[in-house]
Amino acid sequence: MDPIIILQAGVASGTVLLFAALGEVLAERSGVLNLGVEGMMLIGAMSAFSVTIATGNPWIGVLVAMFVAGLLSQIHAFIVITLQADQVVSGLALTLVGAGISLVLGEGLSKAGTVSLMPNFSIPLLSQIPILGPILFTRQSVLVYIGYLLTPLAWYYINHTRPGLHLRAVGEYPAAADALGINVFRMRYMYVFVGGMLAGLGGATISLAVAPGWFSELTTGGQGWIAVGLVIFAQWDPIRAALGSYAFGALRRLILDIQAPLTLFGMDNPFYYNPYWGFFLQMLPYAFTVIVLVIGSREAIRKRLGAPAALGEPYIRGERGK
Amino acid sequence: MAESTLAKKRTSWRIKLEPRLDEPPAWYPAMVSLGAVVVALILGGVMISVAGGDPFLSYAHIARASFGDIGVLSDTIVKATPIILTALACSVAFRMKLWNIGAEGQFIMGAWGASAIVLAPVLPAETSRWLFIPVMALAGIAAGAAWGFVPGYLKAKFNVNEIISSLMLNYIAISWVNYWVFAVWTEGGFQMSPKFPVGASLPRLSEYADSFPVLRGLTTHGGLLFGIAAAIILWFIVYRSRWGYEIRLIGDNPRAANYAGINIARNTILVMALSGALAGLGGMSEVAGVVRRLQTAPIAAGYGFTGIIVAWLAKLNPLVIILVSILFGALILAGREIQPSGIPKMIQGTILVCLIASDFFLRYRVRIVKGVEE
C-alpha cells in the first residue's frame, strides 16, 4: 500500500482510458458521438496481441491495432454521416460488432502465452524529481510517455490551431463551417477515424503493456464506457480528460492493493479478512463514473457549458434552421 | 443531391437520391428490415468463412438445432422468454428516446430480488406456488424498477447521460449478485445458491406430461405467459392510453410535448422505472423458470443487449417483439454449440448495423435514372 506505487501504476493503467477518451473528445468535437469505444478497444487489444504473437514486434502490433480500430470506426462513420442514422444505436451496434469480431478472431489467443511487450524505461533527470519522478517518469511504458505528449498536443490542436478551429466549427455549427468551404463530411469521417485509432491504441495499451494478454471481453471490462463517461465529465477538454483518466487508473490500482495488507491504518484490514467485500470494491470505478457524471452535469448547468452544439445531429446539406 | 454542372453528352446511368415525402406503404418497412437481416446473414457468413468456419453448415445447424423438432423448439422458446421481456423494457424507453442500455443490470437485479424471497428467506420453503410466484414476481419487478429508477432520476434531476449511468449500473449489479452468491447464499462454496423449492419455481410443460404425454420433456415454462401478458399490456399502454401518447410525443418531439404541458422529468423517471420493471420480471422468470437457483452474473448472458437489437428490429412494437424474440432465441440456443463462440454475438451486431443502415431506405428513395442532365 505504497501511495507512490499506486499512483505510478495508476498513471499506467489510466493511460488506457486517456487514449480512448482523447479519441472520443476529437470525434465528439466534430459532432459525432461514437458509443462504440468499447468495441474498438476490444478489437485493438485483440489485434495488437495477435499481431505481436505473429510478428514478435509489439510496435507492429500497436500500429495494426490502431489501423484496424480506425477501420472499424468507419462503419459507424458511414452509417451516421452518410446515411444520417441515429448515432446512439449505431454506436451500440459498433460495440457489439467489435466485441463479436474480437471474440471470433481472438479464439484461442488467451492460451497463447507470453509475448514481447512494449518497452518500459525511466527518463534520465526527470525521474530524479522528488515524488513526481518516481510516479511519472520511472519504469513506465513508452505508451505512457506517448500519452503525456499527446494530451497537451490535443489541447493545443483543438484550441490554438487553424484545423482545430475548423474542427470546433464543424461540431458547433456545421452549416457555417460548410459555408466557409470546410468539407463537413470529410472532417467528420477523419475525426471518427482518429477517434477509432486512439481507442485501438487504448486497447493495445491494455494487451501489450498494462495487463498483458487477451481475456475475451474481460480485457476491457467496460473501460470503453468509462472513457465515454469521462469525456462528458471532462467537458470535451483533453487536459481534464487526462486528469480524470489518471485518477481512475489510480482507483483501479488502489482497489487491487487495498485487499492485500493485513492491517490498514493500524487496524485489521477488513478487506483482507472478508475477501468477499472485494465485490464492493469492484463496484467503485463504475459507481465513481456515475458520481463523476453527476458532478460534470451539475457544473455544466451552472457554468452554462455544454456539449458541442451539433453533437449527435447528422449534417444534411441545404437543410434550414440548424 | 448536388447536380453535376458539367452537361454530359452521352447517356449515362446514375443513382439518384430523393427524400421521401410520402408515407411508404405499410409492407415497405418490414421488407427493408427483412432485407437488412438477409444482408447481415450474408455478411456474417463471409466473416464465418474468414474465421475458418463453414457458413452453410453453421446456418443449417442453427436452423436444425432450434426449430428441428418440438423439443428444441421448446428450448428456443425458453431462450426467447427473457429476450421478450428485456426487449419490451428497451422498447418502452427507446420510444421516449431514453437510451436505457441497462436492461442487463435490471434483469440481474430482478433475478436477485426474486431469489431473496426464497433465500433470505422471506417466505418459508413449503409456501404454495400460488403465493410464492406472485411475491417473487413482485420482488423482481421492484428490484428491476429500482435499478431503472436510478438512471431515470439522475437524468431528470441532473441531466446525467442515461446511457453511461445505466450501463455502469450493469457492472454494479454483477458485483452485487456475485457478493450475495459467494458470501451469503453459496451452496458449499460453489458459485450458486441452493436449489429453490418446488413452490418457488415456475411450472414447466413437462410437469403436465402425465395428463398430456406429448408434453414430456418440454422445458417451456410459465415465464412465457409473463412475457406475452406484458407485451399485450404494453401495447395497450403505448398505443391506446394517454400515458402512451405522452411517451410517444416526448420521443418524437420533446419541445412540442413541453409546450403541451407534459411533465418530461416525471415521465423520464416513470418510463425508466417501467423499463427496469420489465427487465426485472425477465430476471425473475429466468431464475424461477430455468435455473431455479441464483447463480453468478452470467445468468443474464447478454439478454439485455440482445433486447436492444430485438426492440429495434421489431420497430419498438411490443407484439412484433414476441416473434422477433423467438428468432433470436433460436440464434442464442443454437449458437452455444457453434465454434468460435463469438459468432452469435458477431451476427447479432451485424444485424443491428444493417438494420440501422437500412433506415436510410425509409427516408430516401433511391432511383437509377437514365439521361442527360445539365
Residues A99-119 have pLDDT tens digits of 989 988 888 787 777 788 899
| Helix and strand element counts for chain A (H, E) | 13, 4
Q: Looking at per-residue confidence, does A156 or A127 come out higher?
A: A156
CB B16 within 8 A of CB B368: yes
Q: Residue A64 and residue A79: Cα distance in Å, rounded?
A: 24
CB spacing of A83 vs B357 below 8 angstroms: yes
Neighbouring CB atoms inside 10 A of B145's CB total 25
How many residues can be counted in chain B? 374
* Residue bearing cell 495487463: A211
Best of A104, A277, A284, A304 to mutate (most B CBs within 10 Å, chain B): A104
Q: What per-residue confidence (pLDDT) applies to A217?
A: 83
Three cell numbers, residue B247:
411517451
> Are A99 and B342 within 8 A, CB to CB?
yes
Burial of residue A111 (number of CB atoms within 10 Å: 0-12, 13-18, 19+): exposed
Q: Which of B312-315's residues contact partners 24+ apart within 8 Å by CB, and which partners?
A: B312/A89, B312/B94, B312/B352, B312/B355, B312/B356, B313/B33, B313/B37, B313/B351, B313/B355, B314/B87, B314/B91, B315/B29, B315/B33
- Contact between A279 and B340 using a beta-carbon 8 Å cutoff: no
Q: How does pLDDT run across A57-102, given as a tens digit for each residue?
A: 999 999 999 999 999 999 999 999 999 988 988 998 999 999 989 9
- The beta-strand segments (E) located in chain A are 120-121, 140-141, 263-264, 267-268
Using CB atoms, which residue from A98, A293, A300 is nearest to B165? A293
Q: Answer yes or no: do A279 and B342 touch at CB < 8 A.
A: no
Look at B342 and A287 and tell me if their CB atoms are within 8 Å. Answer: no
Cα(A175)–Cα(A310) distance, rounded to whole angstroms? 10
Q: Angle B70-95/B103-119 helices, nearest 10 degrees?
A: 120
Q: How far is C-alpha A180 from the chain's CA centre? A: 32
A100 vs B: CB within 8 A: yes
In chain A, % of residues over pLDDT 90 = 63
Compute φ and ψ for B152, nearest 5 degrees. Answer: -65, -45
The residues in B 169-198 lying below 8 A from A, measured between CB atoms, are 169-172, 175-176, 178-179, 182-183
Does A229 lie at the interface with B, CB-CB under 8 angstroms?
Answer: yes
B161 and A CB contact within 8 Å: yes
Residue linked to cell 453527476:
A294
- Answer yes or no: are the C-beta atoms of B323 and B313 closer than 8 Å: no
Rounded-to-5 percentages of helix, strand, coil across chain B: 70, 5, 25
Sequence letter at residue B52: G
Show the cell assigned to A278.
472485494
pLDDT score at A322:
41
From the list A53, A181, A170, A166, the residue with the least C-alpha distance to A105 is A53
- H or E segment to which residue B364 belongs: strand B364-370
SS3 label, residue B96: coil
Residues B227 and B85: their CA atoms lie apart, in Å, by: 6
Run of H or E including A97: helix A87-105
Which residues, 6 or more positions from A52, have their beta carbon under 8 angstroms from its beta carbon? A58, A60, A61, A115, A116, A208
Mean pLDDT estimate for chain A? 91
pLDDT at A8 over 90: yes
Q: How far apart are CA A248 and CA A224, in angstroms?
A: 13
Phi-psi region of B162 (alpha: psi -120 to 50; beta: other; left: phi over 0): alpha
Buried b (16+ CB within 10 A) or exposed e, A177-203: bbeeebebbebbbbbbbbbbbbbbbbb
Q: Give the per-residue pLDDT at A208.
A: 94
Are B82 and B106 spatial neighbours (Cβ–Cβ below 8 Å)? no
Q: Per-residue b/e over B25-38, b at no fewer than 16 CB within 10 Å?
A: eeeeeeebbeebbe
Residues in B closer than 8 angstroms to A96, CB to CB, are: 305, 309, 345-346, 348-349, 352
Please tell me if residue A96 touches chain B, with a CB cutoff of 8 Å.
yes
Model confidence at A263: pLDDT above 90:
no
Residues of B in contact with A86 (CB under 8 A): 356, 359
Q: Which residues of chain B have pLDDT under 70?
A: 1-11, 297-301, 339-340, 371-374
Of A84, A88, A104, the CB nearest to B99: A88
CA distance A70 to chain B (A): 17
Nearest to B84 by CA among B235, B256, B242: B235
* Span A220-234, average pLDDT: 91
Q: How far apart are CA B185 and CA B288, in angstroms?
A: 16
Q: State the average pLDDT over residues A5-16.
A: 94
Query: Closest Cα to residue B171, out of B147, B136, B143, B203?
Result: B147
Q: How far is CA B280 from CA B100, B191, B202, in A?
A: 13, 21, 16
CA B278 to chain centre: 10
- For A295-305, how does the pLDDT look when each residue is reduced to its tens digit (9 = 90+)? 888 887 787 77
Single-letter code of the amino acid located at A202: G
Looking at A209-237, list the stretches that DSSP marks H as alpha helix, in order from N- to C-terminal side: 223-233
Instruction: Check: CB of residue B54 under 8 Å from CB of residue B39.
Output: no
pLDDT of residue A184: 94
Q: Is B339 left (phi over 0), alpha (psi -120 to 50) or beta?
A: beta
pLDDT of residue B298: 60
Q: What is the dihedral of CA B80, B83, B84, B89, to 10 degrees?
A: 180
A104 touches chain B (CB under 8 A): yes
Q: In this structure, what are the phi and psi dihedrals at residue B32, rounded to the nearest 5 degrees?
A: -60, -45
| Spatial separation of the C-alpha atoms in residues A125 and A136, rounded to whole Å | 12
Instruction: Please give the interface size between A and B, counted as residue pairs whose CB atoms are below 8 Å apart.
Output: 154
Alpha carbon of B216: minimum distance to chain A alpha carbons (Å): 36
What percent of chain B has pLDDT above 90?
55
User: A145-165, pLDDT tens digit by residue?
Assistant: 999 999 999 999 999 999 999
